Structure 1
């Protein structure tokens, strides 16, 4: 694939992208608009600060059930809308150098992606809220892992903050074939 038309994730991950398991590769190489269906389980924090932060970043409600994800992808940016528990959780992703940026609600995260044992590990390296940079050390409890199992794309996303505690932990699968 020509570098000018490589998918966003292929650009960020470089040569490691080509060795990803088929479900991860298929989801992240697709361009244009695609819908994926699966199942998700969501745990949420219960404290007042946790609920406030979750509302500002449009995190999904607690529960278990069907999941639908709409991804609009081009080589320059992607729009993901996750439909969980009757609510939409939209985000926008783009690349800044070797960092994958994601805007979720009022927050913009910068992630360093790494392929470890055939899975993609997401680690926060920077965060901006209202355009103000926050210390990345506050976000060591935020991350994600994408993997493949039983021919399905699997995801595990977690977010905990000092003082606020657990914001959200959601995990599940999508059919991408």
Structure 2
């Protein structure tokens, strides 16, 4: 059986992650996770415009959240729903980095494991997959995945220079 996307990218440290984090990143074929999330969008008009272009969910407290995973040999598709608001991304591995396409933006992340959590660090960004953008603009785009009280927990934050906070969403998920 071949390795999953995160197993490939993280190698041996993957197998030292807490059970709930390993399980979520071990889905093969199709799988669904469900939980709750809180979303805070930036208030700056430019932040709202950027969030709308990327298809990011609106601000909401404690909303039902689902993530449908579809995996194949090329990568994974994550179809999220935050209180009925969809957010889709496609993830692939290339050159040891995780590439995630959200709307017209493709992020390249270096993943590392520390204190039982997966940390995503932005190391490259392209618009429409071809136009490189300065990575310094995206230094405050990050993600942390961990286990808390036996459940998978996520935190995603994005802030841009001159615009300020774009979005912050956090919550938990369990197999559905």
Same-fold call, TM cutoff 0.5: yes
Question: Structure 1 segments of 4 or more deviating over 3 A?
Answer: none
- Aligned equivalent of 2:171: 172
Q: Distance in 2 between matches of 1:105 and 1:79?
A: 13
- Aligned equivalent of 1:59: 56
Between the two proteins, the alignment pairs up a number of residues equal to: 174
Q: Report the CA distance between 1:75 and its aligned residue.
A: 4.3
Contact (CA 8 Å) 1:32, 1:72: kept in 2 or not? Answer: yes
- Aligned equivalent of 1:15: 12
- Aligned equivalent of 2:43: 46
Gaps spanning 5+ residues in structure 2: where?
A: none
TM-score normalised to the size of structure 2?
0.96
Contact (CA 8 Å) 2:27, 2:69: kept in 1 or not? Answer: no
Aligned equivalent of 2:31, options 29, 34, 45:
34
Contact (CA 8 Å) 1:7, 1:74: kept in 2 or not? Answer: no
Contact (CA 8 Å) 1:101, 1:111: kept in 2 or not? Answer: yes
Q: Distance in 2 between matches of 1:147 and 1:162?
A: 27
Aligned equivalent of 1:120, options 118, 121, 127:
118
- Aligned equivalent of 1:143: 142
